[in-house]
Amino acid sequence: MTKVLQLETQRSGFKNEVPGPFPWFALQVRTRNESGVAEQLSGRGYERFLPLYKVRKRWSDRIKEVDAPLFPGYLFCRFDPQDRLPILKTPGVMQIVGFKNGPVAVDESEIQALHTIIAAGAPHQPWPFLTAGDRVRIESGPLLGLEGILTEVRRSHRLVLSVTLLQRSVAVEIDSALVAAITVPRPRQSQHATSLEQDAPVSV
């Protein structure tokens, strides 16, 4: 599970705080309808997040770089899980990702990590979901504080960030000189496999 240093927004100091925002949830939407659904949700006043990445596509006469969903068929939205019917009635929305007993919120730190790499403009792309490996923390630069799994592809280093609920990952290119290793206990492989069998995410 990807973790990121929590940067808390300091409020005015009043004790009677306004309740914080609702959690993020993952919505499964019709393929190639991600942008349209995101626009509809935004127009209805919902905070939504559709992470994109650059991909090169070939046409008959040229190659063009276009934006594509980082998680095809999914986007993220904040809403009250007790009042989810308007979300489900949004054209293009198929289901809310969760378990049998209802929707499950996405880890806030994982959404924050995705926001960070996109805002930084670092090259990133979809990546196979990983659950084990050496973890590192970025010590400086625009991605300061991000933690993930360090991998090497064609002599280029990447930090792999995961959205655990979707079992999807993202790889962002980094300078390996900016990272420091993190010592964490590794889960037993047999226990993790059992967990995935018993608690595989479903859509609700």
User: So where are the chain's domains?
Assistant: 21-105, 107-199
Class of the domain covering 21-105: alpha beta
pLDDT per position as a tens digit, 47-91: 999 999 998 888 777 888 899 999 999 999 999 999 999 999 999
Higher pLDDT, 154 or 18: 154
State residue 154's pLDDT score.
58
Question: Residue range 180-197: average pLDDT?
Answer: 47
Where is 153: in which H helix or E strand?
strand 147-153
> What torsion do the CA atoms of 107, 113, 116, 121 make, to the nearest 10 degrees?
-130
Matching residue, tokens 């929590």: 6
pLDDT per position as a tens digit, 83-134: 999 999 999 999 999 998 899 999 999 999 999 999 999 889 898 776 556 6
pLDDT confidence bin for 193, thresholds 50/70/90: very low
Kindly tell me if the per-residue pLDDT of 168 is higher than 80.
Answer: yes
Chain centroid to Cα 41, Å, comes to 18
Question: Residue range 41-50: average pLDDT?
Answer: 97
Where is 58: in which H helix or E strand?
strand 52-58
If DSSP codes are grouped into helix, strand and coil, which group holds residue 82?
Answer: helix
C-alpha 30/C-alpha 95 separation (Å) is 10
Where is 35: in which H helix or E strand?
helix 34-43
Number of CB atoms found within 10 A of residue 81's CB: 16
Cβ-in-10-Å burial (0-12, 13-18, 19+) of 141 comes to middle
Identify the CATH assignment for 107-199 out of 2.30.30.30, 1.10.150.120, 1.10.10.10, 3.40.50.880: 2.30.30.30
Residue 90 phi, psi dihedral angles, 5° rounding: -70, 125
pLDDT per position as a tens digit, 3-41: 333 323 233 333 344 456 899 999 999 999 999 999 999
State residue 119's pLDDT score.
93
Q: Are 81 and 185 in contact (CB under 8 A)?
A: no
CA Rg value for the chain:
18
Residue 121 in tokens: 């403009």
